[in-house]
Amino acid sequence: MNIVILTGAGISAESGIKTFRGNDGLWENHRVEDVATPEAYCANPELVLSFYNARRHALLNTGIQPNAAHTALARLQYSHHDVTLITQNVDNLHERGGSPSVLHMHGELLKQICTGCADVTLIEWAQTVRDVCACCSAVGTLRPDIVWFGEMPKLMDEIYSALDRADVFVAIGTSGRVYPAAGFVEVASASGAHTIEINLEASDVAPAFAEHRIGPASEQVVEWVNELLAD
């Protein structure tokens, strides 16, 4: 069976990473448009870099661990099913939970990109505006390899081709507020896939799903994977 899974911030919430919405519209005390747009980076690169430096530091240094939902999805990926795992999350908890392949459509916190030569490298430390690109030697051109609002998500050809082939599409812990990800359910439905939403509560696009499993990802995802693997 071709299974396409889309995860959002809700799958990492029980690991201790705050979701984007639900805190009075603020994300770690910042308005998203002040830290997650190209305009914000242009206006105040120090603030944007320090925001992502803090997120990276927390991911690496505060004992954040994958939870049962991440590891259940990894188990499913190692089964006889053909599983495409797409995430909007920039953390590395799917990989640390054992997932062999993850499509990070919004980029990754532990990668940086040079705006001069497009070289992408791993980063586990704090970025500064004076950093030098190891590839082209330009100064101040390295930024987090994160898709900000107004920028094009990554891997879209691969994602749409997986959605076209999907027998089952599952969205886990995502509010359905951000497109194009929020529209994947419509694409999968049009391809004839059975669609399932797993969330603490109904999302903004809940009516587009055929099946709803309400509850914490650490319980609902594990239950769903166990059912699939028992079939």
**Sites for ligand OAD among residues 192-221 (CB under 6 A):** 199-201, 203, 216-217
32 binds ligand OAD (CB under 6 A): yes
**Sites for ligand OAD among residues 101-160 (CB under 6 A):** 106, 147-149
Is 81 noted as a catalytic residue in this protein? Answer: no
Residue of 71, 88, 92, 127 interacting with ligand OAD (CB under 6 A)? 88
Phi, psi dihedrals of residue 45, rounded to the nearest 5°? -60, -35
User: Where does this chain touch ligand OAD (CB under 6 A) — which range of 12-20, 92-100, 185-193, 205-213?
Assistant: 12-20
User: Where does this chain touch ligand OAD (CB under 6 A) — which range of 3-11, 91-99, 112-120, 155-163?
Assistant: 3-11
Residue of 20, 169, 184, 224 interacting with ligand OAD (CB under 6 A)? 20
Q: Compute the least distance from the CB of residue 8 to ligand OAD, in Å.
A: 3
**Sites for ligand OAD among residues 41-80 (CB under 6 A):** none
Catalytic residues, by residue number, are 106
| Binding footprint of ligand OAD on the chain (CB under 6 A) | 8-10, 13-14, 19-21, 32, 36, 88, 106, 147-149, 173-175, 177-178, 199-201, 203, 216-217
